[in-house]
Homo-oligomer: A and B are copies of this chain.
Amino acid sequence: MSGIADTPEPPYVAVIFTSSRTPTDDGYAETAARMDELAALQPGYLGVEAVRATGDSGERSLGITVSYWATEEDARAWKRVVEHRSAQQAGRDRFYEEYTVRIANVARAYGFERSA
């Protein structure tokens, strides 16, 4: 469990979600964990990678979450899931100062793993 998603050979779709958090807690961790859980149940889900910097107090913490999907339609369907829509609204109401979502078609991939 390295945190790197074990995706199949391309082509597939990446949704890159880059965000800057508000200082508010107010259910953020629970909502994020629940969305990870729910995303993994959706058709076409291939995996997720997520990192958030633990900012110094007062600093806005930057996060990148990349979710991987078999098709653009699968990614779009996840965006429309009712419980996810309500989390998106909470994101705009409370959790995020700013975010950008980019939908991208992965054309090539390669990697490296250190030998034991």
Q: B-contacting residues of A (Cβ < 8 Å)? A: 2-5, 7, 10, 14, 16, 18-20, 22, 49-54, 60, 62-64, 66, 72, 91-92, 96-114
Contacts and interface: CB of A to CB of B under 8 A. Distances in A.
Tallying the copies of this chain within the complex gives: 2
Nearest to A109: B102
Contacts of A92: 112, 114
A100 B35 CA distance: 24
B64 A2 contact: no
B107 A72 contact: yes
The interface centre, meaning the residue of A7, A20, A114 with most chain B CB atoms within 10 A of its CB, is A114
A96 to B, nearest CB: 7
Contact of A60 (B2, B16, B107, B110): B2
